[in-house]
Amino acid sequence: MVKQTAGRDQLGEFAPKFAELNDDVLFGQVWNREGKLSLKTRSILTVSALVSKGLIDSSLEAHMTNARKNGVTRDEMAEILTHLAFYAGWPNAWAAFRTAVEVYREDGGTDGGLFGLGEPNTAYARYFTGNSYLKPLTDPAETVFLANVTFEPGCRNHWHIHRAAEGGGQILLCTNGRGWYQEWGREARELLPGDVVYIPAGVKHWHGAARDSWFSHVALEAPGTDCSNEWLEAVDDAQYGTLR
């Protein structure tokens, strides 16, 4: 949920009614109608409107920063501004790109981090919300299977369970960006480079990227007998949206 205090912080004494409308109506009500339009879509619309009007000021920087937090990737922002250039004017787009470069300056992970991006994870795409990429690191016919998995901002896999008659489970070695891991009935755990997650067989869970960051981890399939993966329902959008 969007909570805004900029109106009261900057204009609370000078224009209290305007501040109230800004914080409570525009951001408190309109922006929080996520059942009608997602925060990501609202961010894209707002940035497009500001660029089209030539408002390349602090408000654009603030809304572009929010767009990044709401899952608009660096590549998507570049494509949005390129498209807008033909409708809103080339100078407007140039000016907006200067802001975008600063907002997305530290945005990394699009190369897959330490082990590289690999290929689009099309074989399992139906079990993911958003786009993911897979780069196998070992041959499962020869040894324990290792793969580098990269999630775009906002991407996460569905709830799932690693099954095994004996042993089994999975280990995640986090290498790049910021992400989340959650077991059923427990609070989500933030994941950063260097974190290690052990997932025993039989535990319902999900993992993926934060809304504003690419995320990569190496997935290690723990040895076991009769191992399989049971895919379940998608992670609830509203539940995921509460994670910051």
Mean pLDDT of 71-85: 90
* β strands within the chain, DSSP E: 119-120, 128-129, 132-136, 146-151, 156-157, 160-163, 166-167, 170-177, 179-183, 189-191, 196-199, 205-209, 215-221, 224-225, 228-231
Fold (topology level) of 6-103:
AhpD-like (1.20.1290)
User: What pLDDT is recorded for position 10?
Assistant: 86
CATH assignment, 113-241: 2.60.120.10
Query: For the residues 99-103, what does the mean pLDDT come to?
Result: 91
Q: Strand 160-163 vs strand 166-167: parallel, antiparallel, or unpaired?
A: unpaired
pTM: 0.62
Which phi and psi (to 5°) does residue 178 adopt?
-140, 135
CB of 183 within 8 A of CB of 207? no
pLDDT at site 72: 83
Ranked by mean pLDDT, which of 8-12, 182-186, 237-241 comes out on top? 182-186
Reported as a pLDDT band with limits 50, 70 and 90, residue 83 is very high
Q: How far apart are CA 82 and CA 228, in angstroms?
A: 45
Q: How confident is the model at residue 233, as a pLDDT?
A: 97
| Per-residue pLDDT tens over the stretch 111-168 | 677 888 889 999 999 999 999 999 999 998 899 899 999 999 899 999 999 999 999 9
Q: Does pLDDT of 34 surpass 80?
A: no
Nearest to 125 by CA among 103, 158, 95: 158
Higher pLDDT, 244 or 185: 185
Domain spans of the chain?
6-103, 113-241
Residue 1 scores a pLDDT above 60:
no
